[in-house]
Structure 1
Amino acid sequence: MTDTKVAKITRYAARPLPGPPSIARRMTRELLPPVLMGIVIIIAYHALRSTLPEHRLFLMPDSHGMWDQVLTKPDFLTELFTRSLTTISIALAGLLISIPLGIVLAIVMFRFYVMEKAVFPYLVALQSIPVMAIIPLIQSAIGFGFFPKVLIVALFTFFAIPTTLLLGLKSVDRNIINLFKLQNASWWVMLKKAGLPSSAPTLFAGLRISGSLAVIAAIVSELFFLSGRGGLGQLLMNAKIDFKYEQMYAALIMSSALSIAVYLMFNWLGNRLFSNWHESGGKPQ
């Protein structure tokens, strides 16, 4: 055997796949980028604060102010925690309404083409209407309690669910559909065995969007419905009125943390469901 043939065989010889990355490498890959971005944001915050005149520095509190007015006050930390529970309960209750209704509506539009043509323009119109414009109608019809806030969250988070699920259902491989038809499978069997599993990744993309919007919608609802047990929205208003900007920033940070937590919850659930068969939930290589 010539040297050329040996070189070709060596070049195309089978090579073992690399093993899974270590825990330390995975943790570094997951945590290092957001940590570095956080450092950049902090540096940019302090650089912007340094440009403010002295009499306006209270608008952007420094770390000493946050320590004195937030972290060393157990009463405020307790209030921040209890109000966060109120806000997250409103957000999750709204998602419990928008998610089932959105899934059912997407299936109906997929099953009946005329329903898609009839309903979809109104979905777009509902998304384009400012929710603040219809809040007076909600106040007049339902009142000022807990449910109106939940309804606003449902309105905020509804649009992404049926649109993403409908896109996933319409993107199912036609060869799979034809295979079910060859077996004389019913439409419900095709939906259960092929449609919903194949469209689940796109649905979870919509759930991530809706989940991150839910906390924002809950805070917005509290700005207009001040009755009942208050959440982070009321805390933001009270801190702004009292010029306690350190506490206002703490409420803002907590609201962002809640939004990220809901997003990560749906992201984790999607990865658990799709990691073995879909690229969207693929494990890091």
Structure 2
Amino acid sequence: MSEHEPGSEPVHGQVETDDEEDKAGKGAALWTYIAPLITFVLIIGIWYLISYGRMDAVRRRTALPAPHTVFEDGLLVWEDRKGLKPILEALLVTSRVALIGLGISIAIGVLLAVVMNTAKWAERSIFPYAVIIQVTPILALVPLIRNWYGFGISARVVVCVLIAIFPVITNTLFGLQSAKEGHHDLFTLHHANWLTRLWRLEMPGAMPAFLTGMRIAAGGCVIGAVVGDFFFRQGEIGLGRLIDNYQKDTRIPELFTATIVACLFGIAIFLIVGWISNRTLKHWHESARNYT
């Protein structure tokens, strides 16, 4: 008599398929980390190729120094007026401006979106001006901002808000208006007032779109903080002003270092907001499950 009941033998084909799927999953996960590393190495290689293959010593020093020169003269130097120390001090100023601008953009943007969501006439009255702010070049507004807010930190914050507020408005408004008609009918059946409808139906449904807008606005605020430094130079020195000074003084390694730090700051802000989005939407919305 057989020791195994009929059908109790392991299905070897299924086991092999599961093993293959596990190996494929591990390979894909490993490639997720290897591919960016390969891209980074290629970029550094192209940088070296252009610096040493296409430029003489003078142009290499004044236009495109080699990566190791940027590392040695920019990242490894720590002095009061030279190297990484003044860059990090400027980063603190720029980050403060960017975060204040982001907070104001979120507050005003959400408020305007809620107002526009209450009635069609409100949307038609406000939204065109939001579009005008978005499409107007900041350079055209610099003289007005200078006359109203001076040359200091406040003017830089205004630049951040002007750049970042539009994605908050549009994404939040889209999310508020995306609630299903059947859900609205259910709230109407229970005689819910507009505040209950907003708080319990429209705002939860708008969270994915709002957080997407916040990610876009976060990047815009970093751009606004750096750009604002170029035009409004009174007060504490930010990254934009420092980059401009390095360019005028032909301190190219430090110029590259400050630019790289600004890029890393923008990436960090984007990732932090993305992490907040992922934690907020976790377990109940597909966008969080697909976010990496």
2:65 paired with 1:61 = yes
In structure 1, the partner of 2:248 is 241
CA separation of 1:26/1:215 partners in 2, compared to 1, >3 Å: closer, same or farther? Answer: farther
Matching residue's letter, 2:184: I
Deviates more, 1:183-192 or 1:243-252: 183-192
Equivalent-residue separation in structure 1 for 2:54 and 2:76 (angstroms)? 26
CA contact (8 A) 2:44 2:67 kept: no
* Alignment CA distance shift 1:34-1:197 (3 Å): farther
SS of the equivalent of 2:65 reads coil
Could you say if the C-alpha distance between residues 257 and 27 of structure 1 is closer, same or farther in structure 2, counting changes exceeding 3 Å? farther
Indicate how the Cα distance of structure 1 residues 27 and 244 shifts in structure 2: closer, same or farther if over 3 A, else same: farther
Q: Which moved more, 1:120-129 or 1:26-35?
A: 26-35
Tell me if 1:130 matches 2:137.
Answer: yes
- Structure 1 residues 176, 92: CA separation in 2 closer, same or farther (over 3 Å shift)? same
User: CA shift at 1:283, angstroms?
Assistant: 6.1
What does residue 199 of structure 2 align with? 192
Distance across 1 between alignment mates of 2:140 and 2:291: 45
* SS of aligned partner of 1:161: helix
Distance 2:275 2:29 in 1: 15
Matched, 1:205 2:212: yes
Are 1:250 and 2:261 counterparts?
Answer: no
Does structure 1 residue 43 correspond to structure 2 residue 50? no
**For residues 1-285 of structure 1, what are the structure 2 equivalents within 5 Å?**
28=30, 31-54=33-56, 55-58=58-61, 59-75=63-79, 76-282=83-289
Q: Which residue of 2 aligns with 1:3?
A: none
Aligned residues: 270
Q: 1:242 to 1:273 in 2, by over 3 A?
A: same
CA distance in 2, matches of 1:284, 1:122: 33
1:243 alignment partner, SS class: coil
Relative to structure 1, the CA distance from residue 173 to residue 35 in structure 2 (aligned partners, 3 Å threshold; closer, same or farther) is: farther
TM-score (structure 2 length as normaliser): 0.85
Q: Which amino acid aligns with 2:128?
A: P
How far, CA to CA, are the matches of 1:260 and 1:243 in structure 2?
Answer: 27
Equivalent in the alignment of 2:3: none
1: distance between equivalents of 2:223 and 2:45? 26
Q: CA deviation at 1:268?
A: 0.2
In 2: Cα distance, 1:31 partner to 1:112 partner = 48
Cα pair 2:219 2:269 within 8 Å, conserved: yes
Deviation at 1:244, TM superposition (A): 1.0
Aligned with 2:183: secondary structure?
helix
Cα separation, 1, equivalents of 2:147 and 2:94: 23
In the TM superposition, what is the alpha-carbon distance from 1:171 to its structure 2 partner?
Answer: 1.2
Q: Percent identity?
A: 30
- Give the letter for the 2:71 counterpart: W
Q: Which runs of 5+ in 1 are unaligned?
A: 1-5
Equivalent pair of 1:212/1:259 in contact (CA under 8 Å): yes
Question: Partner amino acid for 1:202?
Answer: A
**TM-score (norm: length of structure 1):** 0.87
State which drifts further: 32-41 or 233-242: 32-41
